[in-house]
Every structure is written in C-alpha cells, then in structure tokens.
Structure 1
Amino acid sequence: MIRKATATWTGNGKEGKGRLDTASGVLDQTPYGFNSRFEDGPGSNPEELLAAAHAGCFTMALAFQLERAGFAAEELRTEAAVSLGKDGDGFSINRSALTLTARVPGIDAAKFDELAQTAKSGCPVSKLFNAEITLDAKLA
C-alpha cells in the first residue's frame, strides 16, 4: 500500500510559500510556510500533520488491540503534541507526546495500560519516528 502527498514551494525559506496536496483530496492546496511553521500563523505545517498522523495511527492501533483482547471502546480520544526543537544549525522533531482519554467498558487499568503501551510501540507512525529514511533526489 502506498499513499501519496505533494508539497510545492515557491520562493526562499522565510518569505516563500508552499502548498500541500494529497491524492485523496483531503489536503487540497493547503498553505504552509515559515509563519505557519515557526510563528503560529495561518496554514498547516509538517509537525501538525505528523501529530495528526501519530494520533490517528496510535488510536486505531489501540482499537485493534482492544478488539483482539475482547473489548470495544465507547470512545478513544488521543492528542499528539509533536515538538520541533533546535538541533545545531537546524531543527529536529524531538518528541511526540500522546495524551489519551478512553472509555472502554469492562476493562481494568492494568490490562488497558498493557494494550495502550503495545499500541504506542506498535503503530506504524511510532515506528516511523525511528525508521530509516531514504531519498531519491533528481533535478528536473
């Protein structure tokens, strides 16, 4: 399975403008730039998108863990807070903090914690934060 998104950028780093598009159309010319990334301006940014991906992936992984263990959640609500920090001359994503609120009838705290920890380490996006990343770069 392959999912695709496209980033288009014009201009320099600070004054330039970008847009994000996804094959599904969920993002359609969604603006991003220096202001939306570093100054809380309008538009999206890569860290916000990673936070959404991590929250969604983890929550779905937990739903599957619960199902396998014989439980069904009434509601799982996860916030992911992705931190971007200075790293030498650049930046790095140094943390993704997941905060979960759940309603799961019939489960005890120990079992819930076990399943949540398994989902945290097993969801594909959690694994991505430590994954090898390759690049095939070509000039047009």
Structure 2
Amino acid sequence: MNRSAKAIWNGTIKEGSGSLSTQSKSLFKMPYSYVSRFEKQTGTDPEELMAAAHAGCFTMKLSAELTSAGFPPEILVTESVVSLINGTITCSALTLEAKVPGITEMRFLQIAEHAKATCPISMAIKVEITLEVRLQ
C-alpha cells in the first residue's frame, strides 16, 4: 500500500505560503505558511499533521490489539502533541482516555505500551514517545 501527499510552496520562507493535498482529498489545498507553523495563525503545519497521523495510527493499533486480546474497546480517545524545539522534532506525547469493559489496568497498560511501540508511525519516527493513560 502506498499513500501520497503533495506540497506546493510559493515565495520565501517568511512571506510565502503553500498548500497541502492528499491522495484521498481529505486535505485539498489546505493552506500552510510560516505564520501558521510558528505563530499559530490559521492553517496547518507539518507537526500538526504528524500529530494527527500518530494519534490515528496508535489508536487503530491499540483497538486491534485490544480486540485480539478479547477486550473490544468501547471508546479510545488519543491526543498527540508533537514538539518542535530549535528546528528539531523532539517528542510525540500521547494522551489516551479509554473505556474498555472487563480489562484490568495492568493488562490495559501492557497492551497500550505494546501498541505505542509497534504502531507504524511510532516505528517510523525516531523521537521520544510518551504515553499517559486514563482508563475509565
């Protein structure tokens, strides 16, 4: 399976702007710029997209592993905060809230840690990955 995205950029780094589009069209000419990346203005940025990818991938992997272990989840809510410090992505901090009937906290933590380590995005990025969990 291959997926693609296209970035278009016009102009200089600070005055220019660009757009991002994905093969599926879920992003289509989504604007991004220096100010959307570094000054929190309207638009997206690569770190936000990385956070979305990591949260989505980890959550799907965790759902698959919980289901396989006999604990189908009711709901999993994951937030990823990707940190960019001095031009380097340093961390993806995952925060998970979950409702999984019948599972012990210890077993849940084991499965969640395994999913964190083995989801495809976690394996692709070479930064610190933290996980904070709240099991309902």
Which one-letter code corresponds to 1:40 in the other structure?
K
Quick check: 1:63 aligned with 2:59? Answer: no
Letter of the structure 2 residue corresponding to residue 124 of structure 1: P
Shift of residue 120, structure 1, vs aligned partner: 0.1
Q: Matched residue of 2:60: which SS? A: helix
Letter in 2 for 1:6: K
Distance 2:15 2:89 in 1: 23
Pick from 112, 123, 130 the counterpart of residue 126 of structure 2. Answer: 130
Q: Percent identity?
A: 51
Structure 1 segments of 4+ aligned residues over 6 angstroms from their partners:
none
Residue matched to 2:8:
8
More strand as a share of residues: 2
Partner of 2:48: 48
C-alpha distance in 1 between matches for 2:11 and 2:119: 36
Measured after TM superposition, the shift of residue 130 of structure 1 is 2.1
1:24 aligns with 2:20: no
Larger Rg: 1
1:105 aligns with 101
Name the CA distance, whole Å, in 2 between partners of 1:84 and 1:104: 33
Deviations 1:91-115 (A, max 9, x none): 1100100000000000000000000
TM-score (norm 2): 0.92
- Match of 1:136? none
SS in 2 for 1:26: coil
Cα separation, 2, equivalents of 1:119 and 1:36: 31
Q: Which runs of 5+ in 2 are unaligned?
A: 128-136
Count of residues in correspondence between the two structures: 127
Secondary structure at the counterpart of residue 119 of structure 1:
helix
Alignment partner, residue 130 of structure 2: none
Structural RMSD (CA): 0.9
Q: How far apart, in 1, do the equivalents of 2:94 and 2:126 lie?
A: 16
Instruction: Report how far residue 128 of structure 1 moved.
Output: 1.1
